[in-house]
Amino acid sequence: MNTYELIAPCHFGLESVLKREIYDLGYDISSVEDGKVTFVGDSEAICRANINLRTTERILIKVGQFKAETFTELFDNTKALEWENYIPKNGKFWVTKANSVNSKLFSSSDIQSIVKKAIVERLKEHYRIGWFEEDGDSYPIRVTIMKDIVTIALDTSGDSLHKRGYRPAAGKAPISETLAAALIMLTPWRGDRILVDPFCGSGTFPIEAAMIAANIAPGMNRKFTAQKWTNIIDKQLWYDAVDEAEDMINLDIETDIQGFDIDADVIRKARSNAENAGVEKLIHFQERSVADLSHHKKYGFIITNPPYGERLEDKETLPGIYSAFGRQFAKLDSWSAYMITSYEDAVKYFGRKPDKNRKIYNGMLKTYFYSFQGPKPPKKEKGQER
């Protein structure tokens, strides 16, 4: 079985979480850079990574990497790659995205056009044909140029991996599933601990937490572009990867995961999304204001995405929201809280300095992930509830 370098992109600042996930799957990492982790794996690894990784946006097969400062160099080096090992005679291929940062070549449309032309010329020579019907399966290509170093890769995932399939309808200002999972995994929370999201919206944090607790692989109920690449991946490998993931699920666990929101319609959507994800029995959703945030147990976790004030008319409500959140959290004196927000005065109105502060880009939006850490719980005696 062939071995590939596989690229897993992620949110800037969350590479360490993805790195740990890849190690846990059993693969060797070849490099960690801003916004991506590269690891080594075979065809089976492509299937298992797409199905199991919670914090990457997609899985790419690296076809080649080279330096190019001119379009001639881009064309020649792209043509020199062994595209016939990846794209069959009837394959439909195109450059779906081209990014350039701090490089002499910067026109995305020109980069896309030249890379496509170079691949066509290579395959024309190999297959000895003058025209490609491109009526077969899709082989989307992605190009990244960073400081004149070109990386060309095939996209095995298709739709971004944050599209788990459980959230057809999102509430206002949703947080992506991959980002939510990564932030949860940055905290010390585990499935046997209390988790509350007082601004749950469409339920992403509680649902991702429940899937982590029950060990439900995020990609089990969706399709991937590479499922049709029978020239690279045997179909049976996909079935085997799904079977492996199904064997790992444990829905018999006891959880205390709760999601609150002041909007009744949004709570209905959250319940529907949880049902789609198969975790509705593991989460309690309730229409409730943050001013009523409370819990009778100790040592819980709050992980949340409060309103940012995306619209001008919403900004004036933010001081009151963050102040109420801070007051209620202060009453939960043994709890820890983690919130992601771009609101610059969040800490001021929350009323407590964070123990940690991590800068994270949510798309193009600069946000901060604030950690307010409570005391560690005493060690449990066997059979004792926390």
Q: Kindly state the tokens that stand for 9.
A: 């992109």
Q: Which of 227, 279, 250, 278 is nearest to 59 (CA)?
A: 227
Q: What is the pLDDT of residue 379?
A: 82
Query: Domains in the chain and their CATH numbers?
Result: 3-155 (3.30.2130.30), 177-216+225-248+255-372 (3.40.50.150)
Give the mean pLDDT of 170-192: 88
Q: Are 303 and 328 in contact (CB under 8 A)?
A: no
Average of per-residue pLDDT across 316-336: 96
Q: pLDDT (tens digit, 9 = 90+) per residue, 1-28?
A: 799 999 999 999 899 999 999 999 999 9
The distance of Cα 213 from the centroid of its chain, to the nearest Å, equals: 17
* Residue-wise pLDDT tens digits, 344-383: 999 999 999 999 999 998 877 889 999 999 999 988 655 5
As a whole number of angstroms, the distance between CA 30 and CA 34 comes to: 14
Query: Given a cut of 50, is residue 386 above it in pLDDT?
Result: no
Say if residue 171's pLDDT is above 70.
Answer: no
pLDDT in tens, 64-109: 999 999 999 999 999 999 999 999 999 999 999 999 999 999 999 9
Q: pLDDT tens digits for 222-242?
A: 999 999 999 999 999 999 999
Pairing of strands 92-101, 138-146: parallel
Cβ atoms within 10 Å, residue 366: 11
Q: How high is the pLDDT of residue 187?
A: 97
Q: What is the mean pLDDT of residues 141-145?
A: 98
Confidence (pLDDT) at 172: 54
Q: Which amino acid is at 292?
A: D
pLDDT confidence band for 174 (50 / 70 / 90): confident
Share of the chain above pLDDT 90, in %: 89
Distance of CA 320 to the CA centre of its chain: 31
In sequence order, the 6+-apart residues with CB closer than 8 A to the CB of 58 are 8, 9, 155, 156, 157, 160, 161
Q: Would you call 287 helix, strand, or coil by DSSP?
A: strand
pTM: 0.94
- Structural tokens at position 379: 């060690």
